[in-house]
Structure 1
Amino acid sequence: MHTKWKSALLLMLFTTYATFAQQKPNVIVILADDLGYADLGCYGSEIPTPNLDKLAQNGLRLTSFYNTARCCPTRAALLTGVYSHQAGIGHMMEDKGADHPAYRAQLNDKSVTIAEVMKNAGYFTAMTGKWHVGQPHGTVPWKRGFDRSLNAPAGGFYYGAGKGAKLFLDGEELANDSDKLPENWYTTDLWTDFGLRFIDEGIAAKKPFMLYLAHNAPHFPLQAPEEDIARFRGKYRKGYEKLRQERYEKQIRLGLIDPSWKLPPMNPNVPKWESLSQAEKEKYDHMMAVYAAVIYRLDKSIGDLVNGLKKRGVFDNTVILFVSDNGGNAEPGIEGKFEGEKPGSAESSVFIGQGWAEAACTPFWAYKHHTHEGGISSPGIISWPAGIPASRNGKFEKQPAHIIDIMATLADLGGAEYPETFNNQPIQPLEGTSLRPAFTGKPINRKNPLFWEHEGNRAIRDGKWKLVAERSEKWQLYDIDKDRTELVDLSSKYPEVVKELERKYAAWYKRVGAEPYDKDFKWFYDYEKAKNEAASIK
């Protein structure tokens, strides 16, 4: 072939591939575990998270990103684009049997995963991290569309020496000291390491890639390298009340929240910091130092991922979506947990407890399990240098978004078709809405309200209105635009709004197959007492 013709052909092929790459961005969905709304620097935290802060500075921050209030349901909704009850995981990993299709503890065949949809659009699909959507029942990533996977069935560990540590590589159970794994691995780093290895395979195959990176950080049992914990020792002796106030003030300075939204009082079940003994203060300082170290390492892994993408020349055309699965975690109650000779080591078990969970969820009520804002609000960061206009960098996007929107967003970005049938099974229609218009500042045009139900805690958000209640409560109505911290119940002032939202909620509840919840929690949030205190806040 003549040299000029060969050069022209190569130019044409390069242009075609470049156009294809531009039309098909790579996508990485990063899910944190038990990360509260206020736990990142760019959302008000004092914990240094420079890598996530930089993604937010050069991308978008969603101020109203919602999850489902709990781990397994959020993962089900993220993976399928329908509400968790519709996907078969209305609660956690207890299968209630065929008579309760919304509670089968695994993804059903009436839903498709983001991997199955994106794979059909030409994507190389991979996942690393915590699965937790039915592996004991046979629902596994390598059978639900993922070309490659390194996964933990349900998390619960950070080190190979941790209790219950178990890893699967493309379905093969690995010994924790397998030569296929790095020595002395730490899960937060391991997920990123294998994520980049899988990305290399996608690049080699000349395909756009989709990586679902599901961290188990900062879920209990909190564990981190000793030197990282030492960075934070002594920084939390000020106590959880003061920390919460400082985070609230920083959120106002950042422009993240409206200054008119008042900070609710602390949960009255939590003892005042000054009432604690010196030994108790030292213990709680140590607990929070471990938590901060886990988040610090999570952020470091994001930096490693971004640097890896840049070295491979694919960062600019990679969409990164970072969210969390629920609000901060108050389990197992006021005391938290502080077990082991070396707190933060593989043999230890640390939970931060209710006091620090209050700070994690600043400025909102409640936390994980609950459908008040503290339980369902998550940081939401979107980075895409090639697709988000520079004029939007560092902006706050206030339109509400939900975990069910991720499927619709990915399909939109990848030119993928969400199927009506899959493997000869009818597939439920999408519930979510693509967030892509928000990338350029356009309306999302959501057609339906957003709904929540978890353990009998319930909510609906329709425009500015939110109707919400604990399992044992009457409905409360809030104007979320003016009062997102849910301090002024307007239900008696607007009974017609309550009635209409209750009607919509009842129809949704029936449609998704939700059922009454019949268990109590010992660390139940004392709303009545707290709201009596809140009544004095103007």
Structure 2
Amino acid sequence: MIRPLLCIVLMSALAALTGLLRDASGAGRPNIVVILVDDMGWSDIGCYGSEIPTPNLDALAKNGVRFTQFYNTGRCSPTRAALLTGHYPHQAGMGHLDNVVKPGHPGFQGKIADTSVTMAEVLRDSGYFTAMTGKWHLGQQHGTPPWKRGFDRSLNLQAGGVYFYNQTGSKGGAKLYLNSEERPLNDPQFGEWYGSFLWSQWGLKFVDEAISAKQPFFLYLAHCSPHFPLMAPEEDIARYRGKYLAGWDTLREARHRKQIELGLVDAKWPLTPRAPNSPAWKDVPADEQKRFDHMMAIYAAMIDTMDRSVGTLVDGLRERGQLDDTLILFVSDNGGNAESGPNGRYEGKNPGDAHSNVFLGQNWATLNNTPFRKWKHFVHEGGNSTPLIAHWPSGIDASVRNKLVHQPGHVIDLMPTVVDVAGTKYPAKFQSQAIEPIEGVSLIPSLSGKVLARSQPIFFNHEDNRAVREGKWKLVALAGQRWELYDIEADRTELHNLADEHPDRVKTMAAQYDAWARRTHVVTGNNDAWNSATKQNKGTKGKKK
């Protein structure tokens, strides 16, 4: 009787150990894919109002959910840091781009802070196979490349703006990095590539490795599109030539009407007026209209090819039997980009090819951000509003599919969402280093129609443009300017400043901002990032960075 009893005990112990090992390996957990695009405005894809056909993203939205009030940080590197760490940008050491370093200031390290941990680090320790493709821009030159921040596999650019294997214009001479090894853009193993397709192709290669290893996977696919220099295959650009001669005024109105029909915006929110330095389309000379048409055609082709890349990835996951249990999140790093002013930039023998240099400019960026104010760099709605599409066939309740989530969210919420989905824990320590607490909240309740458990406001600071979002209220200010207050439920296009009517609310929310700015390293003692928050609250202009 002893031996059978011993066998039962041993078998039970073995089963328990096998279960523990399975949990540690991540088996049975959903896959996670985060797709980030670069410099794309809130209205630039079909399911958010655009005239540009994006059938693959539209299909994800139809079978998933769309968020109507989701925010990024208004800029590239800060959003990437916040997304991957769940910390606000200055907390994560990335208060600006990764080439901005202020010695002794923890908010401007030009790299991911040691007191932050990345999604890849958390998920790899939980048994996931972790991979990334595309643009990094998180301090590779300062010691935090993807392969040192949790990614098992990576094919990346140190920064962005690279689209062709033979690019010689802006960003010509850049390098690819395959699993830490530097490779020239024209390395034969990659073929004669265009970036949007390369990132999906290699993303699926890494997925195949994960499947072979019998591990769930986390794929971070960071597109360069549609960031300048605007470049796309000629045949794709040609399909859009002439379609933008209608001009930005007519197209903004069309996008706005579509957004109202889709339920994305309230009909009571009027379109924001053109900026004073932006002309009416009818006043633009005919030869200039052709130039502007070509610029926007290049941009539209970049959105088109990015969408097809998403389709390639989704089809690849479906063919591999992985799609149903994969959470896909699609988001943009900031609003449409007005850099280079109203006229944009249009350089090269054949603008849009690998040897040119094209910037879309402010006139079209206002279309990108329909119906909102401002652009990239700013934290008014045009600068920091992003689409968020969540798709997960086995995880999103059927009752909310093809629905809109109107609750506010922020890229800091993606880390707690991923931790929630993976069934793991956010660490208090990582590799003996204390990690700052997570800032956001899991978005998973919203995928079944429930209310998010947010107890704190959402905060913003970029280049001293700053904001607080709490419930329906948004307190926002331009650098060195007085606070403005908006009721977002009544006025999301931020046209009716209520600061003078609600001085107590302004005072309370400004105090919340001040406390947050000190806590998250936006301002630090005598080594402030910008002006002191107290001076800003009074509307006093100080020195800008």
TM-score (norm 2): 0.90
- Show the 5 A alignment for 1:79-90: 79-90=84-95
Among 450, 453, 456, the alignment partner of 1:448 is: 456
Cross-structure match for 1:237: 245
Partner of 1:105: 110
Change (3 A) 1:140 1:22: closer
Shift of 1:179: 3.0
Counterpart of 1:170 in structure 2 is 179
* Residue number in structure 2 paired with 1:416: 424
Please point out which of 213, 237, 245 is paired with 2:221.
213
Preserved CA contact (<8 Å) 1:327 1:376: yes
Matched AA of 2:332: S
- Residue 194 of structure 2 is aligned to residue 194 of structure 1: no
- C-alpha separation in 1, matches of 2:92 and 2:54: 34
Where 1:85 maps in the other structure, the secondary structure is coil
Q: Contact (CA 8 Å) 1:129, 1:216: kept in 2 or not?
A: yes
Pick which of 157-166 and 509-518 moved more: 509-518
1:116, 1:32 → 2: CA distance?
Answer: 22
**Helix, strand or coil at the partner of 1:84:** coil
Could you say which residue in structure 2 is the equivalent of 1:254? 262
1:274-293 matches, cutoff 5 A: 274-293=282-301
Q: Is the 8 A contact 1:371 1:468 kept in 2?
A: yes
Could you tell me how far 1:29 is from its partner in structure 2?
Answer: 0.3
C-alpha contact (below 8 Å) 2:335/2:376 kept by paired residues: yes
Pairs within 5 Å for 1:351-370? 351-370=359-378
Select the residue among 218, 223, 235 that pairs with 2:231. Answer: 223
Equivalent of 1:42, from 44, 47, 52? 47
2:478 counterpart (443, 467, 470) = 470
Could you tell me which residue of structure 1 aligns to residue 188 of structure 2? 179
Q: In the TM superposition, what is the alpha-carbon distance from 1:23 to its structure 2 partner?
A: 5.1
For structure 2, the 5+ residue unaligned runs are 1-17, 532-545
Conserved in 2, the CA contact under 8 Å of 1:80 and 1:114?
yes
From 315, 329, 338, the counterpart of 2:337: 329
Percent identity, please.
54
2:161 maps to 156
What is the CA-CA distance between 1:492 and the residue it aligns to?
1.0
Deviation of residue 180 (structure 1)?
A: 2.5
Superposed displacement of residue 482, structure 1: 1.3
**Aligned partner (choices 72, 91, 97) of residue 92 of structure 1:** 97
Asked if structure 1 preserves the Cα contact closer than 8 Å seen for 2:372 and 2:493, the reply is yes
Label 1:245 to 1:27 Cα distance change in 2 as closer, same or farther (>3 A). Answer: same
1:525 aligned residue: none
CA contact (8 A) 1:241 1:273 kept: yes
Provide the C-alpha distance between the structure 2 equivalents of 1:219 and 1:517, rounded to a whole number of angstroms: 27
1:94 to partner: Cα distance: 3.1
The answer as to whether partners of 1:467 and 1:478 remain within 8 angstroms in 2 is yes
Q: Tell me which residue corresponds to 1:32.
A: 37
Residue 219 of structure 1: how far off its partner (Å): 0.4
Q: 1:518, 1:125 → 2: CA distance?
A: 37
User: Alignment RMSD, CA only?
Assistant: 1.7
**1:131 counterpart letter in structure 2:** W
Counterpart selection for 2:81 from 76, 92, 100: 76
Structure 1 range deviating more: 250-259 or 46-55:
250-259
Number of the residue aligned with 1:487: 495
Q: Distance in 1 between the 2:282 and 2:185 partners?
A: 44
Instruction: State the Cα distance separating 1:175 from its structure 2 match.
Output: 2.1
Q: Please tell me whether the aligned partners of residues 252 and 259 of structure 1 are also in contact (alpha carbons under 8 angstroms).
A: yes
* One-letter amino acid of the structure 2 residue matched with residue 83 of structure 1: Y
Q: Which residue identity lines up with residue 250 of structure 2 in the other structure?
A: K
Q: 2:349 is aligned with what amino acid?
A: E
CA drift at 1:446: 0.5
Aligned to 1:3: none
- Give, in whole Å, the separation in 2 of the partners of 1:108 and 1:180: 34
Question: Residues of 2 paired with 1:69 and 1:165: CA distance?
Answer: 25
Return 268-277 or 413-422, whichever deviates more.
268-277
- Equivalent residue in structure 2 for 1:136, among 128, 134, 141: 141
- Residue 52 (structure 1) aligns with: 57
For 2:399 and 2:490, locate their aligned partners in 1 and report how far apart those are by CA, in whole Å. Answer: 27
Query: What letter matches 1:301 in structure 2?
Result: S
C-alpha contact 1:409 1:433 (8 A) present in aligned 2: yes
In the alignment, residue 211 of structure 2 is paired with which amino acid? I
Paired residues of 2:67 and 2:405 also in contact (CA < 8 A): yes
Matches of 2:227 and 2:366 in 1, distance apart?
Answer: 16
CA distance in structure 2 between the aligned counterparts of 1:22 and 1:384, rounded to whole angstroms: 18
Aligned equivalents of 1:420, 1:180: Cα separation in 2:
41
Whether the 8 Å CA contact 2:129–2:210 is kept in 1: the answer is yes
| Deviations 1:120-141 (CA, angstroms, capped at 9, x unpaired) | 1111100001000101112100
Contact 2:373 2:382 in 1 (8 A): yes
Q: TM-score, normalised by structure 1?
A: 0.91
Contact 1:159 1:165 in 2 (8 A): no
Kindly indicate whether residue 371 of structure 2 is the aligned counterpart of residue 340 of structure 1: no
Among 346, 357, 382, the residue aligned to 1:349: 357
- Which residue does 1:266 correspond to in 2? 274
Q: Runs of 5+ in structure 1 lacking a partner?
A: 1-12, 520-538
Code of the residue aligned with 1:170 in structure 2: it is N
Matched with 1:377 is 385
Partner residue in 1 for 2:119 = 114
Which secondary structure does the structure 2 equivalent of 1:243 belong to? helix
TM superposition shift of 1:17: 8.2
> Counterparts of 1:357 and 1:28 in 2: how far apart (Å)?
28
Q: CA deviation at 1:417?
A: 1.1
Match of 1:405 in 2: 413
Distance 2:103 2:236 in 1: 47
Q: Give 3-state SS (helix, strand or coil) of 2:379's partner.
A: coil
Q: Deviations over 1:362-387 (max 9, x none)?
A: 01000100010000000110000001
Q: Shift of the alpha carbon at 1:101?
A: 1.2
- SS of the residue corresponding to residue 29 of structure 1 reads strand
Q: CA deviation at 1:21?
A: 8.0
| CA–CA distance in structure 2, aligned partners of residues 342 and 518 of structure 1 | 42
| 8 Å contact kept, 2:26–2:128 | no
Instruction: Show the counterpart of 1:388.
Output: 396
Correspondence list, 1:420-435, <5 A: 420-435=428-443
